[in-house]
Chain A
């Protein structure tokens, strides 16, 4: 397939991913409301720590508030609460249709996920971040380079997140019940990504475990880039780690998917 034609397929998939979420504006408004209420609570809780000390790692009170409103915005962009589209398609047998399409299901999923993420970024992430900026005077990335680095980091974070989600969805090829795997995955992701609480707050041994996993690449890295906790060589290192995790997880997804389809039996007729 020529490159231009192949890229237009990706774009079409992304548009579909975007449109699927854009169809429910009231649901988005309700979701934003919930994200903001949780932001208010998380902000109060974490600020209470700074009544007793000036800073924890690179975080002072102001950086922590920025962290709270940014994570409340980004949690939907990186699909913190999971994704089971592929697993459901495997269970129902709809995956058979995907297999005869001219675009590999992993690539289709990645393209559609960027469309989904674009919608979530515009509609679900911007409002909580604005609430933070307007009401709580949270900060913006300190320089144009930091903005650019944030854009790159978030783009990679989505790929890492999709790679991870694809892996636990592929479990559906081997078990009729993928929900258990998904729940376990969500628990690990929400703690080790730094979403529940910044990794800088972890005791050193727990922070070391987190750093050895792909999860900080999904939330903590883009947030640290935004608040300026990463710069120079540590910034480059973090972006390279994201790229490596994205490649590793997407590669693993590809391999597992190939094995899964070999043992796939579609019922019906």
Chain B
């Protein structure tokens, strides 16, 4: 399987080549980046409109929901930047071109992740950052080392959770290649879920999409800690520190699911 020590360097080299190529078309790059920035605000418009009608949503104030939105939006943007092109991989399965990845001396997932890289997706990250800045300007957070650490770890943990969910669910393509859109319910759906307080969801939806797919650990639990907010669901306090651990576990599970999918892969006949 080749040498794993050269993977980071190889990753940087391959992705840098993609970025150089995209920067050749400055005008369209700028327009698409601006477009993805606006896309990242669509759901925030909904939040603004909701709070124009009510002062609270499930006992969360507007800036508190903005904090959830900011963490989730920023993390999802980074996930999308790193592996958004995973959505195109089912085409490789359909055409049988996944064979090519199997004979090359690097991991299949690594090859797919370096196979494309859309820098314009940075626009989305900017949207998340702006909302996060807005949230902190409105909230009186009693900053201490603990809160800083929880916030700083929340972003990579949330990114890893989103990435795991995306990788694990896109594997549906190994069994039913046309069924790949079902993974959107978990990847994009997970992001949608995470930007609102999870206590407003129906019990079963919460069990399934917030705990089994651990989307509650993206923003909800870290935000409760940062805000020193009592949990409307009354769950134990230690859950607020579990995001990095849950993220690590999720990555392991996603890697296993991917390996099972690859083993199940049968090339296109003919």
A residues within 8 Å of B by Cβ? Answer: 24-27, 29-31, 33-34, 37-38, 40-41, 44-49, 51-53, 56, 175-177, 179-181, 183-184, 186-187, 190-191, 196-197, 201-203, 206
Contact = CB atoms under 8 A, between A and B. Distances in A.
Contacts of A175: 28
The B interface is mostly helix, strand or loop, or mixed, namely: helix
Contact of A41 (B36, B57, B172, B201): B201
Contacts of A34: 181-182, 184-185, 189
Nearest to B196: A45
A265 B257 CA distance: 49
Interface in B58-80: 58
Contact of A183 (B25, B32, B184, B189): B32
A38 B178 contact: no
Interface residues of B, number: 42
Contacts of B31: 177, 180-181, 184
A47 B199 CA distance: 12
B53 interface: yes
A49 B54 contact: yes
A48 B58 contact: yes
28 contacts: A26-B176, A26-B178, A27-B178, A29-B182, A30-B172, A30-B181, A30-B182, A34-B184, A41-B192, A45-B196, A46-B50, A48-B57, A51-B58, A52-B54, A52-B55, A175-B28, A176-B28, A177-B28, A177-B32, A180-B31, A187-B42, A196-B42, A196-B43, A197-B45, A197-B50, A201-B49, A201-B50, A201-B52
B53 A201 contact: yes
A225 to B, nearest CB: 22
Contacts of A26: 176, 178-179
A180 B32 contact: yes
Contacts of A40: 201-202, 205
B54 A27 contact: no
B54 A177 contact: no
Nearest to B51: A49
Interface in B22-57: 25, 27-28, 31-32, 34-36, 38-39, 41-43, 45-46, 49-50, 52-57
Nearest to A191: B45
B240 interface: no
A30 B178 CA distance: 8
